[in-house]
Amino acid sequence: MRRLIAILAFALFALFAVSSPALADNPHFLRSSASGPNNAGNLDVNFKIAGLGDNVTITVTATADATAVYACRNNGGNFPSDPKKTQVSGPVSASGDFTSGKNGQVSGSLTLSPPSTTLACPGGQRRVLVSVSYTNVQVSGGGDTASIPGTFSRTFFNI
């Protein structure tokens, strides 16, 4: 009987010893930042998350409110005196799955793209991105969210 009690006590101890690290997992952002927009108008959202545990896969999502202006540009590289243009605004997002290492951390980057447009240009002209702006940038994952303050914008052409 003593032997059975000792085995049960050891089994309970082993169960709690193995499960306690999982209870201690606390995903949180150590850092988050954004850079850009780059030459294509994309915004890179960079992050580092800790407190995941070893070899844990997590889905991370970056979001923002974006405004893009598109216009028609002729083959000579100029804009007509009355250019055909449009402004598009709306939410943009990007997601990815990342797996932590033995240290329970994930570092990564997600790329946000400008909102798309249906602007159709006449013959001899092509659609170009004139400007783009991102606000309310956030990155979330594992139940935590980090806001990245600021407005990230770029103007490619003055029309």
Report if residue 16 sits inside a domain.
Answer: no
Report if residue 7 sits inside a domain.
Answer: no
Report if residue 4 sits inside a domain.
Answer: no
The model's pTM: 0.82
What spatial distance separates the first Cα and last Cα of the chain, rounded to whole Å? 89
Q: What angle do CA 138, 50, 60 make, to 5 degrees?
A: 40
Per-residue model confidence as pLDDT tens digits over 91-148: 999 999 999 999 999 999 999 999 999 999 999 999 999 999 999 999 999 999 999 9
Residue 25: per-residue pLDDT:
77
DSSP 8-state class, residue 150: S
- Domain range for residue 127? 25-155
Cα–Cα distance, 126 to 108 (Å, whole number): 35
Report if residue 117 sits inside a domain.
Answer: yes
Q: Domain total for the chain?
A: 1
Cα–Cα distance, 63 to 61 (Å, whole number): 7
Report if residue 67 sits inside a domain.
Answer: yes
> What is the DSSP code string of 26-93?
--EEEEEEEE---TTS-EEEEEEEE---TT-EEEEEEEEEEEEEEEEEETTS---SS--EEEEEEEEE
Taking the alpha carbons of 35, 37, 43, 44 in that order, is the dihedral positive or negative?
negative
Per-residue model confidence as pLDDT tens digits over 54-93: 999 999 999 999 999 999 999 999 998 887 999 999 999 9
